[in-house]
């Protein structure tokens, strides 16, 4: 039996309520890392099955009357997709990782004016850092830091940690914010150098929280 918290598999597709909207279900896509809402489309059974099979978001285009893989023209696909259904089985939530701007107007989200979850922006920062590290010959600070390797980056993390500690002990609130931002940036660069994602860090925190909750 599939866990209610697990993403849909192909065996669960038929049990969804396909009659309510003539064979279509609304599908809202969120950024897997930041949880920012990216877009909403519609899926029929074939689109949902394709999304589950390939883990690349595929919709049913009502205007073109065919399956449409998001990013098939622009290259800005939504990959690593996991699909979940609501309690009534008539709406879908998709967690995926965008390869680039999602909106046809060039913005990261089709809901550009929507509030962006604060800490979730760290996932966006991680993508920016990774992209700068891939640019050959780049003179950006990020690229040079990545090229210097984990030991140099770790040294910078240590330095920034000390500066935050000093600001926390005797500095102003603004100084604490500034030093915390510096530290988080350098931690993000170190994670990229070690091929570790923020999801891994959050998962570790969740495990620790669960253990503490169980021990009470």
Give the model's pLDDT for residue 160.
Answer: 98
81 contacts 71 by C-beta, under 8 angstroms:
no
Give the model's pLDDT for residue 1.
Answer: 47
Question: What structural domains and CATH numbers belong to the chain?
Answer: 1-114 (3.10.20.810), 120-215 (1.10.287.1080)
Q: Tokens standing for 187?
A: 């931690």
In sequence order, the β-bridge partners of residue 43 are: 25
Give the model's pLDDT for residue 153.
Answer: 98
Q: Which residues of the chain have pLDDT under 50?
A: 1
Give the model's pLDDT for residue 216.
Answer: 64
d(CA 40, CA 114): 14
Model's pTM, two decimal places? Answer: 0.63
Give per-residue pLDDT as tens, 108-158: 899 876 555 567 778 878 888 988 888 877 889 999 999 999 999 999 999
Largest CA distance in the chain: 64
Residue 173: exposed, middle, or buried by beta-carbon count in 10 A (0-12, 13-18, 19+)? exposed
Give the model's pLDDT for residue 122.
Answer: 84
Give the model's pLDDT for residue 171.
Answer: 96
């Amino acid at each position: 039996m599939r866990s209610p918290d697990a993403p849909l598999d192909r065996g669960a597709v038929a049990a969804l309520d396909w009659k309510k909207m003539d064979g279509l279900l609304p599908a809202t896509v969120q950024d897997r890392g930041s949880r920012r809402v990216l877009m909403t489309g519609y899926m029929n059974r074939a689109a949902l099955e394709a999304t589950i099979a390939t883990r690349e978001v595929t919709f049913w285009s009502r205007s073109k009357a065919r399956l449409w893989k998001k990013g098939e023209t622009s290259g800005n696909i939504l990959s690593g997709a996991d699909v979940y259904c609501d309690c009534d089985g008539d709406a879908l939530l998709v967690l995926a990782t965008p390869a680039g701007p999602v909106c046809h107007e060039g913005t990261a989200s089709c809901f550009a004016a929507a509030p962006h979850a604060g800490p979730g922006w760290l996932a966006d920062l991680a993508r920016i850092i990774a992209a700068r590290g891939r640019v050959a010959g780049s003179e950006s600070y990020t690229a040079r830091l990545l090229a210097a390797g984990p030991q140099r980056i770790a040294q910078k993390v240590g330095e920034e940690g000390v500066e935050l500690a000093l600001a926390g002990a005797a500095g102003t609130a603004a100084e604490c914010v500034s030093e915390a931002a510096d530290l988080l940036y350098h931690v993000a660069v170190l994670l990229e150098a070690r091929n570790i994602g923020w999801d891994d860090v959050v998962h570790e925190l969740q495990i620790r929280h669960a253990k503490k909750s169980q021990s009470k």
